[in-house]
Structure 1
């Protein structure tokens, strides 16, 4: 989607946090393609930005007019909301005018971060509250198991109306430069909910491969994560998200994509059709 360049301000860049992530990288690409001055926010950028090192914030925010905030690894981790609130304050003091926040659908902590942003009277804001991404099946998380031809999942996961990260980026990039999204909260889902095994079955059909899907108790799944060497804090995060976000509270479809962009969200079938030919899901 083309982003308007009519609000270009080369002297005051847009800071994109999580610039190497699924949504941040896409937001960065869209803004650059439209000719906007942008600054990548990551440990490897210059100046560097780290959530855990507040001393890096001042340089990253210098001269910035708007910020895309995607907190890593997730807003539900202990201390994340306090850190993000402190960042809002630092951004306001630095003269930032607008923040676009990536939030998590059904996460109580993410909603706390939303309310804090809405209460920050010195900042204009847009909130994109998203469901799980299509790209979790092709860019990390489940990719290795899909390639191996067997995926293990915990029991009890409700159907999820997965969303395309490209839809999120279309909205976020536009909201950073277009005031018509000012003070809007968009709840973003795909057009229908389906289960993880149903998603895997679609990928298997598109790739003409057998991909087994094994369902085990949540405690056993947590044990497998630990045995695989996943750090304890990440094990906790995965189990928390599975048991909180995927307990059924997020199964209903929302209509934020259409509200923001005037078109329906991309479908999982479309995502599979364009991703399968890349070979990312091929056996290795």
Structure 2
């Protein structure tokens, strides 16, 4: 039921339907792509992850939404040490691109020594596209739920369009698994996955309204009305899976109405006047 609701809402969202090179994007993966991008640890890379690129990866993989939800839970469960570990461990170069370019240069006769490419000159972890972390989470989720017999190179070429090397993908997978303590099964709880799917749905709805809205929103958190209990269920935020970095959901669009007695007039009129506080 949740999956059907997610599909319907995603298809109704106005969104980009193709990458710059004309590759088609499936609208149902718009919300999941937004949510996955926002779950990339902010300290992992200074580069900004691309929502259309992640949506393209999801469209190529065409995984069930339940499997994508597991990838959401995987990213959502990374500990604080993951970003530093990944930055220190991930290879800085796409060996596929470097090897191909070097071979083509050597095959030419009477040429000057090859000039280092800009890609090779910028040997820094921030030159590695952070969408690699999302790709790795999707691969782990697919391996756990579907057990496909595919080599790492398949995911790099088919899902990632050779933007990353097999070594980069393997190292990122290992960093994620170490961060999780090699425990995936607890993340497969039905309630946890259901919350993740709801968050993906809400991400598609709220992205255009307010990109990366804080949770809880500052405009709501700053409202304090005397006489209204701070622990009133009417304004309580609904928890999602462990934490949500994409959307802020709460019950009720307004504060509960409360009768407040106005000061009595000096003339002795005891008529009670009330006003509504919204």
Computing the radius of gyration over CA atoms, which structure comes out larger, 1 or 2?
Answer: 2
Q: TM bucket by the smaller chain?
A: under 0.3
Higher strand content, 1 or 2 = 1
TM-score (norm 1): 0.26
Higher relative contact order (CA 8 A, sep 6+): 2
